[in-house]
Amino acid sequence: MIYLELFQIPSDLWVTWYFTPWPIDPPPADMPPEFLCMHPDKCSYHNTWYPWKVFENRFLSGNEKTISNITCPKLSFSDITIFYGGNGSGKSTLLNVIAEKLHSDRAVRHNTSPFFDDYVGECMYYLNKQYFIKDSDIPRSRIIVSDEVFKQLLSTRENNFNINMERGKLRQEYYDYKYTQLPSHLDPYDKEQMKIYSDMNETRKHNLSQYINRRLRRTDLEKSNGEAGFHYFVESITDDCLILLDEPENSLSAMWQKELALFIQGAVKEFRCQFIIATHSPFLLSIPQAKIYDLDATPIQESTWNRLESMRCYYELFKDNEDLFN
């Protein structure tokens, strides 16, 4: 299911104009008029203009499809589209730009700068008109990043630690009540004394496990990072939705990466989802019919998974050691 068909980022001419100090040359003819109001004289104390220069001179300008007859770098999408590249290639940046433009739901913050909103504001998108009548009909979408998985894992561990600490306190409290002699005389008007007596009396009716379980919930079952990560991604994906995944393999073993690849293919068919994924996982890259953009190439271009540099490295490793697998 394709909801997002095309996405356009600012052209190199726009980027050059954006960073030209005042006074400036006339703007490019195809630049939107509102862009003129955005241009400030950039201050020297900024050490980054992210994401403005990340993709400069890395795309071929334009293609056979246009948005409002503007000649800018454009990306077209399939049911499953993958951004591939090494560290610093911009695959996560591109994913975050798309997510912000589409107002995608997200659980954690992303890398940004004072100029991020300007950049996103000048991006454009084209929706599948079979499902969206006008561009204001932004599809329901969510971006899911591996940081969310680690955050959940750490939260579970913290909760379990606190529960275990409380369990130790309840154990000591149980023995204090269990083996402390009951007072022979009580003041019925002393509420604190009466409560202690009642607690001590009640404690004697239960064993240690019953006493603790009645007062404290059990710890959460801690799965392995891979299992927890896989289930997090699966449970976060909903029907009829555009899903953006940022390096989901970070928390997954090879087995779980393979399972996630199979789940994604099933979600496209059964749940009518569209996926845009930033990854260098061989299991995700080798999904049949996935459209792959190689962000390590200059210019950035479409590729097949077997032609990617990291895939060739894997191939050579196993080919050199083929006898060990026979």
How far is the C-alpha of 233 from the C-alpha of 249, rounded, in Å? 11
269, pLDDT greater than 90: yes
Residue type, 288: P
How far is the C-alpha of 58 from the C-alpha of 21, rounded, in Å? 23
Question: 246 and 92 in contact (C-beta within 8 Å)?
Answer: yes
Q: pLDDT: is 260 or 31 the higher one?
A: 260
Mean pLDDT of the chain: 80
**What DSSP character marks residue 184?**
S
- pLDDT category at 291 given cuts 50, 70, 90 is very high
Q: Which residue has the tokens 């079952």?
A: 221
Question: How do residues 294-323 score in pLDDT, each as one tens digit?
Answer: 999 988 999 999 999 999 999 999 999 999
Backbone angles phi, psi at 5, to 5 degrees: -95, -40
Question: How do residues 167-202 score in pLDDT, each as one tens digit?
Answer: 777 777 777 766 666 666 666 677 776 676 666 666
Backbone angles phi, psi at 294, to 5 degrees: -90, 105
- pLDDT of the residue at 195: 72
- pLDDT category at 148 given cuts 50, 70, 90 is confident
Longest dimension (CA), the chain: 97
CA neighbor of 109 nearest in space, from 122, 100, 101: 100
64, pLDDT greater than 50: no
How far is the C-alpha of 257 from the C-alpha of 65, rounded, in Å? 34
- pLDDT of the residue at 139: 81
How far is the C-alpha of 197 from the C-alpha of 8, rounded, in Å? 73
HSE (side-chain half, CA atoms, 13 Å) at 137:
11
Q: pLDDT: is 181 or 10 the higher one?
A: 10
100, pLDDT greater than 50: yes
Q: Which residue has the tokens 């994401």?
A: 51
Q: What domains can be seen in the chain, in order of their start residue? A: 4-146+226-325 (3.40.50.300), 150-213 (no CATH)
Mean pLDDT for the stretch of residues 128-139: 67
Ranked by mean pLDDT, which of 73-87, 113-127, 166-180 comes out on top?
73-87
- pLDDT of the residue at 77: 96
Mean pLDDT for the stretch of residues 240-257: 91
237, pLDDT greater than 70: yes
CA neighbor of 295 nearest in space, from 92, 60, 62, 90: 90
Residue type, 255: M
Q: How many other CB atoms sit within 10 Å of the CB of residue 255?
A: 12
Tokens representing residue 197 in the block: 């007596």
Question: 259 and 235 in contact (C-beta within 8 Å)?
Answer: no
Helix and strand counts by DSSP (H, E) for the chain: 10, 9
- pLDDT of the residue at 79: 96
- pLDDT of the residue at 22: 64
**What DSSP character marks residue 52?**
T
Tokens representing residue 187 in the block: 């003041």
Tokens representing residue 114 in the block: 């004072």
Tokens representing residue 19 in the block: 């960073």
- pLDDT of the residue at 95: 95
Ranked by mean pLDDT, which of 19-23, 58-62, 203-207, 241-245 comes out on top?
241-245
Mean pLDDT for the stretch of residues 43-71: 66
How far is the C-alpha of 298 from the C-alpha of 60, rounded, in Å? 9
Q: Which residue has the tokens 């019925």?
A: 188
Give the global pTM: 0.76
119, pLDDT greater than 70: yes
- pLDDT category at 65 given cuts 50, 70, 90 is very low
